[in-house]
Structure 1
Amino acid sequence: MDDFPRDAGAATHDNADPRRIVLFDLFGVIARHQRPGALEKMAARCHASPDAFTTAYWTHRPPYDAGRHTASVYWTNVLNALSRPADAGTVEDLRLTDIDSWSRVDDRMVTYVRYLRDRARVALLSNIPADHADAFLAAQAWLHDLDHVAFSGKIGAAKPDPAAFRHCVVSLQAAPADFLFVDDREENVRAARAAGMHGHVFTGQDALAADLDAWLPTAG
């Protein structure tokens, strides 16, 4: 973790919650990465090679994650790149398979995140398309207990864009130095630190707990 001075230019509010804020990434931290074999399954659905499908899938992903493209536009672009017909049935099958492939959570980390709410404000900042976010919110009731949830497809900015971090600072009426951002991707943690937050590159719950025990005020 790095120590930063409080940002004098940040918005302050007399009635703001003074507790520190742990801002979590979702995938690779609280939720699992994409289900193994999912890309191959989707490639087979549109009769494409796994390599070609994977390239098209990720090439067209950023505007979908950032809420600039709908699911229909995203999947049409992927299928067009593969020279495959973008009929409504194929698009919907791919969309639902994709959502399911990102639906798993780490139950141990969910329990830990809920425990932390007794010691700090807890929020989430995730790169995830809007329709995936809706599915996650419907399936994971614990998300509704967090102090703030920011999904890139909903807020129109994806990490490491500084606008994604600014959204959280403004929404939680805090200063950047009040945050510790937790992500498994080092480039996102660097971006959070550049925005004035503390940062932790997630490698496992035990290392995170040790860092948070040092950073958070002692209970009581």
Structure 2
Amino acid sequence: MSTDRHIVLFDLFGVIACHQRPGALEQMATLCGAPADAFADTYWACRPPYDAAQQTAAGYWTTILRQLSRPVDTDTIEELRLADIDSWSRVDDRIVAYVQRLRDRAEVALLSNIPDDHADAFLAAQPWLRNLDHVAFSGKISAAKPDPAAFHHCVTALRAAPADFLFIDDREENVHAAQAIGMNAHLFTQPDELTAAIDTWLLSRAG
């Protein structure tokens, strides 16, 4: 079923925004005096509950410090939290400009795995996000990709059908999850290929 709408649903990091700044994890490891490799492993292993709003920032960093046998104190937690937010703060200005122009041809929405406090900082730094038709951050909706609930949230929020969406993401598991609920989906690799894929999809919908 389709309501004949044209909704392009973007991932954030790896598509519109850049991946984490190189060297950031090593810098955070130094902040708490942990080995870089062990810090990186623990950082990622503990991330899913934080992304999905099942854990606060303080809880996330407390868990990491305890697993690394490092002292737990509020100053260190705040230093790590702010360094983490800053490490994810860069955007690709070319894609940002394209996304804003695309609103002349389609509805544009965003679905990103990002903790609640990161989402607040990102919205403050990138006010253009508020002009999109819908913005869904995992830390705000308590569901993270590839959980189907994250995609269903967007369908419900926009009062659309899954077939009305073209979902863009740089991770195969997320693309497959979107397709599994009936969305069209495209694996992002580079900007030129992205614009061609969106143009092709919009043309097919126009027919």
Name 2:39's counterpart in structure 1. 53
Q: Which amino acid aligns with 1:138?
A: A
Q: Which amino acid aligns with 1:133?
A: A
Q: Distance in 1 between matches of 2:154 and 2:104?
A: 20
Q: Distance in 2 between matches of 1:183 and 1:40?
A: 27
Residues 142-164 of structure 1: per-residue CA shift (max 9 Å, x gap): 10100000000100000000000
Q: Distance in 1 between matches of 2:53 and 2:103?
A: 29
Q: What's the secondary structure of 1:149's corresponding residue?
A: strand
* Structure 1 position 112 matched with structure 2 position 116: no
Name 1:92's counterpart in structure 2. 78
Q: 2:110, 2:135 within 8 Å by CA — same for their partners in 1? A: yes
Q: Distance in 2 between matches of 1:141 and 1:89?
A: 29
Q: Distance in 1 between matches of 2:109 and 2:16?
A: 12
| Alignment match of 2:156 (pick from 170, 176, 179) | 170
| Alignment match of 1:161 (pick from 140, 147, 154) | 147
TM value normalised by structure 1: 0.91
Q: Distance in 2 between matches of 1:86 and 1:164?
A: 33
| Residues 57-206 of structure 1 mapped to structure 2, 5 A cutoff | 57-206=43-192
* 1:118 Cα deviation after fit: 0.3
Q: Distance in 2 between matches of 1:120 and 1:86?
A: 48
Q: Which amino acid aligns with 2:22?
A: P
Q: Which amino acid aligns with 1:212?
A: I
Q: What's the secondary structure of 2:166's corresponding residue?
A: strand
Q: Which amino acid aligns with 2:95?
A: M
* 1:85 Cα deviation after fit: 1.2
* 1:169 Cα deviation after fit: 0.1
Residues 146-191 of structure 1: per-residue CA shift (max 9 Å, x gap): 0000000100000000000000000000000000000000110000
Q: 2:136, 2:154 within 8 Å by CA — same for their partners in 1? A: yes
Q: Distance in 1 between matches of 2:201 and 2:178?
A: 16
Unmatched 5+ stretches in structure 1: 1-5, 13-17
TM value normalised by structure 2: 0.97
Unmatched 5+ stretches in structure 2: none
* 1:19 Cα deviation after fit: 3.2
Q: Which amino acid aligns with 2:200?
A: A
| Alignment match of 1:37 (pick from 12, 15, 23) | 23
* 1:117 Cα deviation after fit: 0.2
Percent sequence identity over aligned pairs:
70
* 1:86 Cα deviation after fit: 1.2
Q: Distance in 1 between matches of 2:135 and 2:141?
A: 10
When the two chains are superposed, the root-mean-square deviation of aligned CA atoms in Å is 1.2
Runs of 4+ in 1 over 4 A off after TM superposition: none
